[in-house]
Each structure stands twice: as structure tokens, then as C-alpha cells.
Amino acid sequence: MSGADLRSLTHVAMGTLCVTLAWLPAAAALAISATAVAGNLWLLPRLAGGQMRRAESAWGTSDRGLILYPVSVFVLLVLLPDRPTLVAAGWALLAFGDGAASLAGRHLGGPRLPWNSTKSFAGSAALIACGTASVAFLLHSSAGGRLPFRDALSLAWGAGSDSSALAGWITIALIAALISALAESLPSGLDDNLVVPWIGAAVLLGLTAITPLALELGAITVTRRWASMLALALTGGIAAYLLRWVSLSGLIAGVMVGTLVGVGLGVGGFVLLLTFFVLGSAATQIGLVSKRTRGIAQERGGARSSLHALANGAVPLACALFALAGAPLGACALAFAGALGAATFDTVASEIGKWLAGPTFLPERLCRVPAGTPGGVSLSGTLAGAAAAAVVIAVAGITDLISDSWGAALCVWIASAVGAFAERPLALLAASEQPHPEALNAANTLVGAVAALWIAQWLSPASLTATGLAP
């Protein structure tokens, strides 16, 4: 058996342990996962006699994936201590979905994906099929009491007859698997061991809070809001295009994202998205000539394309759509603000840091680098980013998108910083030496959204259940 097949089969086999989360207390599961990280780092490569390691791996004595697999589960356990069903589902997507994709891609062959020649249709299909089956089994078993997960009552779709509930869980599992497969297939340079379970669990967190009745009410909201939100988005998009802040593709993508955000979270959501865009674009235009002279300016004079719009807008858009579909409005709005706060912090810090060209350092090496170096951090840029994130929070409070309590504002500001500074660690853990910058931007917003929800559990728990915030 080849080393690659042994790794994939081990990858799949370890996934069977995800059902143990139905019985394990949160602290015990966390301790075991931490032990697994240590064991995979130091013990497994020695026991496997080197067969588990990729020949091209340059990270110590172990293959990177052997470490990131338990790390991804550990992070889910930290972030979702009271949602073991979702942790198990994210783990299942990683183990059975991604593991099957690796085996199918190697042994079935077939045509490659047009947008990523390293991935195949067979691999993506395997991820979707095996991921859907395993996640649907876990969700249905938890909601139906067949597995004693302690968060079974929080799975909103579980009501109804057994057959209708099963159909609902299969649908939810399929959506999560499809989105995970799409994210895994993109040439982002990020590691699949992080992308698949984290995105899958995030999608499931929103989907499992939706009920059929809420979907019907959301459809009514769409008919009531879409025309006014489209008009607002078109007005803002055309103005940005005339200012040359966006390209034609950026205009189209921006109007789409803006309209859907406005439909989901009302005028407050649209205004907050517009605030991020204005602050980010203004920071890009400041000192553009100087940045262009030094070769560190944004391409096309800072005009954002559809790729920029989707990278920074995908997670906020998902938050708005979850709110529209009936997920808790307070939690969706808080995650939305955290995502845009992180995007604003990161964009403004980067652009102002380039312009002022103050002392810039790589945090992991503690060495000085030229302004504009990927991953470089400067004091001036950081302060500018922090101030810009504070503006986003102020706008969110003024528009009643989030609670006006200091706790909600503080948790979003902290989440903004966490999301912005997550870029460098994610880049260092990436499968590629140069991960796609827009993939890192999307990851920043996801980290900001999740961090806002996590921190709010301690600083502002009332804001997670607030209703009627977004007018």
C-alpha cells in the first residue's frame, strides 16, 4: 500500500471516532483532541516508520496534514463546546468527505476541474456524496435521540415525522457538503484539513437554526425589500464605478451582494456594508501614487473586481441570508458586524501601512521588512485599522444592527482584530507557500464572524438572542 493511500485510509478511519462526542463531556473531548495533536506530531510518524509522511514535506518530522487534522477538530471543540453534533459533523466532512475525495481523485482519475487542475470531478463528487451521507446520519441520529448528543434540542429542523425530518437533514447535509466541496476545490492555497471542517461546521451552525416556518416568513421579506435594496445597491455601485473604485465585474458582484445583504438585514446591514467599502476604498486611494511608485499599490488603480467583492462579501452575505431564513437575528447581525469589522481592520491597516511606510515587522520572525511585505505589521497601519473597525462598530450601533451595549461593541472590536491578525497564522499553515490573498481575506472575515459569536457568549450574551434589530 502506498503512503498516500495509508494516509487517506487513516484519515477516514479516525473519523469513526466522531460519534464518541455523543458521550464525551466537553472537557474530556478537548483533552483527548489535544493529546491527539501531540501524538500526531511526535509519535505517529515514528510508529508508521516514515510511511505516513509525504516525501515533499518540509515541516519537521511529520506531514502537515497529520497535525492539522486533529488541530481542526480541537479548534471546533473550543469554538463549539455546547454543539458536539456540529463538531462531529465537521469532523465527518473532513474524515469521510475529504478522505473519500483523496482516494477517488487518485484511483478514479477522470477530467480535472476547469478552475483547478489539481482537483478532479471524481474527487469533488466523492466529497459531496460521502460528506452528505455521514453528516445526514449524525444530524438525524442526534435529533431523533439515536445518539445522545447533548445539543439535540438545538437542532431546529428535527420536528415533524421521521421521514420529513430525514429529508430535511439530508438537504441540510447536502448544502453543507456542496459548499465545503466548492471551497475545497478552489485554488486558494489553504489546507483542506482546515477549509473543509471549518466551513462545513460554520454552514451547519446557520442551517440547523432554520425552521420551515421561518423560511416562509423570509420569502415574504424578500418580496417586501428586494426592490428598494436593489435601487440602493445600484445607486452605490454606479457611484463607485464612476469614481473608478470598482471594475465592471466588481460593480455587478457588489450590486448582487449589496442587494442580498439589504434584503436579509435591512437598511442597517446595507449601510454597514457600504461603510466597509467606503473606508477600504478610501484607504486604498490615499497615497496611491506613492504606493504605485514603490510597486506595492493595488492593481488597476485600486478598482475592486468581482473577486474582491466576493472574497470580502461572502461571509457577511451568508450571515444576512441565514438571518433572512430564520436563524437568530441577533447572532447573525453580530457575526455580520464581526466579519465586516475584520475586513475593514485588515484592509485599512494594510493600505495605510503601505502609505506611511513606517517600521514594518514580520511577527513570527521579529524582523524588519519593507512596507507592503505580505504579513508585515506596522504600528501606524494597526492603529488606523483599529480606528476604522471602531467606525464600523459605531455605524452598526447607530443603525441598531447590533445592541448599543458596550459588551456587544467590545466583542465586535476584539473579533475584528482577531480576524485581521488571523491572516498570518493561516498563511503559515497553508498548503501553498503563497496562498491566494483573496482566500486569506475570506478566511479573515470567517474568523471575525466566528470570533464575534464566541466572545459574545461572555461579554454580551443578550446580543446573541436579540430580535428586531435590523429595520
Does 72 have pLDDT greater than 50? yes
Mean pLDDT calculated for residue range 173-192: 94
Does 333 have pLDDT greater than 50? yes
Mean pLDDT calculated for residue range 59-75: 76
Query: Cβ contacts of residue 248 below 8 Å, gap of 6+?
Result: 241
Least reliable range by pLDDT among 231-235, 419-423, 429-433: 429-433
pTM (2 d.p.): 0.91
* pLDDT computed for residue 56 by the predictor: 47
Q: Does residue 378 sit in helix, strand or coil?
A: strand
* pLDDT computed for residue 205 by the predictor: 94
Widest pairwise Cα distance in the chain: 66
Distance from first CA to last CA of the chain, Å, rounded?
Answer: 60
Q: Does residue 150 sit in helix, strand or coil?
A: coil
Mean pLDDT calculated for residue range 319-337: 93
* pLDDT computed for residue 240 by the predictor: 95
Domain ranges in the chain? Answer: 3-207, 215-465
Total Cβ atoms within 10 A of residue 58: 7
Q: Rounded to 5, what percent of the chain is helix, strand, coil?
A: 75, 5, 25
Mean pLDDT calculated for residue range 44-51: 59
* pLDDT computed for residue 44 by the predictor: 67
**Does 44 or 422 have the greater pLDDT score?**
422
Grid cell digits, residue 269: 446591514
CA atoms within 13 A on the CB side of 117: 0
* pLDDT computed for residue 54 by the predictor: 54
Question: What is the per-residue burial (b if ≥16 Cβ within 10 Å, else e) of 336-349?
Answer: bbbbbbbbbbbbbb
Please, what is the average pLDDT of the chain?
88
Contact criterion met (CB below 8 Å) for 63 and 57: yes
Q: Which of 246, 236, 420, 451 is nearest to 344 (CA)?
A: 420
pLDDT digits (tens, 9 = 90+) for 366-406: 788 887 777 788 999 999 999 999 999 999 999 999 887 78
Integer Cα distance of 319 and 327 in angstroms: 9
Task: Give the model's confidence band at 154: pLDDT under 50 very low, under 70 low, under 90 confident, else very high.
Answer: confident
Share of the chain above pLDDT 70, in %: 92
pLDDT digits (tens, 9 = 90+) for 348-357: 999 999 888 7
Q: How far is CA 15 from CA 21, 32, 99, 122, 420, in A?
A: 11, 14, 9, 21, 32
Grid cell digits, residue 177: 457538503
Query: Cβ contacts of residue 259 below 8 Å, gap of 6+?
Result: 226, 229, 230, 232, 233
Q: How far is CA 5 from CA 60, 192, 206, 431, in A?
A: 21, 17, 34, 19
pLDDT digits (tens, 9 = 90+) for 217-229: 888 999 999 999 9
Mean pLDDT calculated for residue range 147-155: 90
Residue with cell 431564513: 325
Does 213 have pLDDT greater than 60? yes
Q: How far is CA 451 from CA 39, 275, 457, in A?
A: 28, 21, 10
Helix (H) / strand (E) element for 99: namely: helix 99-107
Q: Does residue 309 sit in helix, strand or coil?
A: helix
Total Cβ atoms within 10 A of residue 152: 19
Least reliable range by pLDDT among 41-55, 227-241, 423-437: 41-55
The pairing of beta strand 116-120 with beta strand 377-378: unpaired
Task: Give the model's confidence band at 464: pLDDT under 50 very low, under 70 low, under 90 confident, else very high.
Answer: confident
Integer Cα distance of 390 and 392 in angstroms: 5
Helix (H) / strand (E) element for 170: namely: helix 162-185
- H helices of 357-405, where? 379-398
* pLDDT computed for residue 172 by the predictor: 94
* pLDDT computed for residue 292 by the predictor: 82
